[in-house]
Amino acid sequence: MPSAFPSAGRVVPFLTHPRVPALHLDSGTFLFSPNAICQYFFLLAGKEPDDLTNQWLEWEATELQEEELAERSLSEEEIAAAAEAWPRGLAALPERWQPPSPVLPVEGRRNILITSALPYVNNVPHLGNIIGCVLSADVFARYCRLRNWNTLYVCGTDEYGTATETKALEEGLTPQQICDKYNAIHAQIYRWFDISFDYFGRTTTPHQTTIAQDIFQRLLERDMLRTDTVDQLRCERCQRFLADRFVEGTCPFCNYEEARGDQCDKCGKLINAVELKKPQCKVCKDSPVVKSSQHLFLDLPKLEGRLEKWLEQSWATGDWTANSRFITRSWIRDGLKPRCITRDLKWGTPVPLDGFRDKVFYVWFDAPIGYLSITANYTDQWEKWWKNPQQVQLYNFMAKDNVPFHSVVFPCTLLGAEDNYTLVNHLVATEYLNYEDGKFSKSRGVGVFGDMAQDTGIPADIWRFYLLFLRPEGQDSTFSWTDLMLKNNSELLNNLGNFVNRAGMFVCKFFGGRVPHMELGTDDKRLLAHVTLELRQYNQLLEKVRIRDALRCILSVSRYGNQYIQVNEPWKRIKGHDADRTRAGTVTGVAVNIASLISVMLQPYMPSISATIQRQLCVPKACNVLTDTFLCLLPPGHQIGTVSPLFQKLESEQIEALRKRFGEGQLWPCGSDSPPTGARASPALHGAGGSQSSELTAALCAQADHVRQLKASKAEKGQIDAEVAKLLELKKQLALAEGKTPEPPAPKGKKRK
């Protein structure tokens, strides 16, 4: 049983006292936060945890465990080394690297090629899409540039395939018009989020056709393709084979009447379109017939040996996330099977082979080749990046559902083509970001999508910070409006912003805007050593692409700074005798240099705030190079500019209004992107029971909203449970009113992570 006791950990790590009560967990972790201690005992009492509780407890424990390790590892030698390095200042930094234009690999330098999974062009990305791909990759790209590594970051919209044709039909546009429209929407969203692509392109280009067909021909020449017959649904009225998204029918597993040709929204099972009962063409509503069609397959079994040999080498030398390794192993565990690479569609890259010229390449064969073609649109020397594995390190960023196509299918394609292609060295996959108690859903108006974030009045850097703070690295995480408010007001406003503002204000108020003379004492040198350790840990974590954990190092540095100011009280010492005034100068000078370091460390995460800090403190541009050493970059006499607050408080009324605005339609259980059976409009609703069903649906909506508000206000569990019981009863009544069998309530227990 864990126990509370006076911990050996110190509130102010660079001083020798005081000590505070802490909770020592069985794992060896220390919890210092009273809230975390209370929450832990709450869990021990058998109360049911939720995802946010688990996130919070994990983060509290992780942060403080790392602080304990840092405290134990601090030696006199490290303190002396930090004090010795400090006065070297700006002269000790390497010159900032200016890459060539266009950016190309350079002999003798670390050449980093970064891609994020190409967002599909037919929809608007939500916050989960943004953190899983482009934002995570952007943080790493910005960090690489700070390390003086020669870095190219490319991305673009994935534009071919069935989904584009479907969207074009829905909006009454041509596929090309849909691509033009949504490519512009994506580009604008990423500009607002300050994503620093070197090039953002698209896959509907001549380069895509040329490169994809070249890879195909090389596979064909090396006997890496085979043909086979596939049964498909064909609409005789439309005179074409129907892709999965153009078919709707009754699910063969649960009898849901609006199942798609690839998956059932109700039971979630994958479906082969020919298995649907009563299939219908979504275009003309005719019943399609089953007919055979010849298709081309990538012979994955023939490439399995090469793949496993390459994977063994890549895993040994690269940083693949645990989920990417697990998913890849699960695909190859039972042996690979041939993978179809063609489709009976019009919108796609044409297949350059007699007998198949009426087909196009399947999107999952074609889309990853987009990385190459987008780079080719950036520079005609694209092969220096993509056919140069000896000099280039390739990082792929994506959500976990994209892993097998990047770790198995695409590498097999390039291995089979035998043209010295650059293969992924580091595959970085996130888990999923959920929204409040459910999933993001554009159709139901649930969640924040990229084109909506700007309208909230919350700056892009705040969105970046919060998404990166809860980045789902080891498990799914949950976006919460309440938590966004808390993190903004505590971590940004009260911690980081408060420290930077105070450090700059003291320089302006007490020393005429110039950094004062500093005489370092023992406590100052210990602080320098602690900040240096945090800086080194930050670098180590980001080199391993542990983006969320590295962000906590920045917040730890600002906490050190706040404690340092609070303990030394320069606003009092400045009024005292000479020694006190000298001490006030030292504390102020060290503090403003810590603020300068924070501005550099923060650049990958909050580039606009970083630039604001540097503008206020007049930080030289040459300082934007990261090393493992904390240096005095703002020496005595350095003139700073006008200092003003960095962040604004988020009020509960504002947050509650946003929660309501972006969650009005969220009535369905977590894990479902569609309403339960009967909630959609159906013939039953237009009969005698229609009025009753409508009334029950309205009551269900109101009760669901009431439950959400109770949870948000942290009402008593008993009160919440009673209202949840009413909600479940309403769902049951609605199902009965529509002639459906009520689904039993899900068993209680620990939620899926």
Find the mean pLDDT for residues 239-262. 85
Span(s) in the chain for CATH 1.10.730.10: 494-639
pLDDT at 37: 65
The 10s digit of each residue's pLDDT in 569-599 is 999 999 989 999 999 999 999 999 999 999 9
Q: What is the DSSP letter of 436?
A: T
Q: Which amino acid is at 292?
A: S
The 10s digit of each residue's pLDDT in 187-198 is 999 999 999 999
The 10s digit of each residue's pLDDT in 324-380 is 999 999 889 888 999 999 998 889 999 999 999 999 999 889 999 999 999 999 999
642 has pLDDT over 60 = yes
pLDDT at 680: 30
- Model confidence band, residue 667 (pLDDT cutoffs 50, 70, 90): very low
pLDDT at 232: 85
Most confident of 1-15, 57-71, 214-228, 433-447: 214-228
In this predicted structure, which of 24-28, 120-124, 242-246, 402-406 has the lowest mean pLDDT?
A: 24-28
Tell me the CATH number of domain 111-218+306-430, given options 3.40.50.1980, 3.40.50.300, 3.40.50.620, 3.40.50.11720: 3.40.50.620
pLDDT at 283: 80
Which is the CATH superfamily of the domain at 494-639?
Isoleucyl-tRNA Synthetase; Domain 1 (1.10.730.10)
Find the mean pLDDT for residues 471-476. 90
Q: In degrees to the nearest 10, what's the CA dihedral of 345, 349, 354, 358? A: 20
Which one, of 669, 733, 672, lies nearest residue 707 by Cα? 669
Name which residue leads in pLDDT, 708 or 475.
475
Q: Residue 508: which residues within 8 A CB-CB, separation 6 or more?
A: 640, 642, 643
Please identify which residue in the block is written with the tokens 């596979």: 219
- Residue 745, preceding peptide bond in cis (omega within 30° of 0): no
Cβ atoms of 444 and 250 closer than 8 Å: no
- Model confidence band, residue 691 (pLDDT cutoffs 50, 70, 90): very low
User: Where does residue 485 fall: left (phi above 0), alpha (psi -120 to 50 degrees), or beta otherwise?
Assistant: alpha
d(CA 46, CA 190): 44
The mean predicted confidence, pLDDT, of the chain is 84
Indicate the helix (H) or strand (E) that contains 694: helix 690-712
Span(s) in the chain for CATH 3.40.50.620: 111-218+306-430
Joined tokens for residue 642: 């006008």
602 has pLDDT over 60 = yes
The 10s digit of each residue's pLDDT in 124-157 is 999 999 999 999 999 999 999 999 999 999 999 9
544 has pLDDT over 90 = yes
d(CA 261, CA 279): 8
Give alpha helix (H) positions in 45-161. 51-73, 76-85, 127-130, 136-146
Q: Residue 55: which residues within 8 A CB-CB, separation 6 or more?
A: 470, 477, 478
Q: What is the SS3 assignment for 303?
A: helix
Q: What is the SS3 assignment for 722?
A: helix
> 263 - beta bridge partners?
270
632 has pLDDT over 80 = yes
Beta carbons within 10 angstroms of residue 421's beta carbon: 19
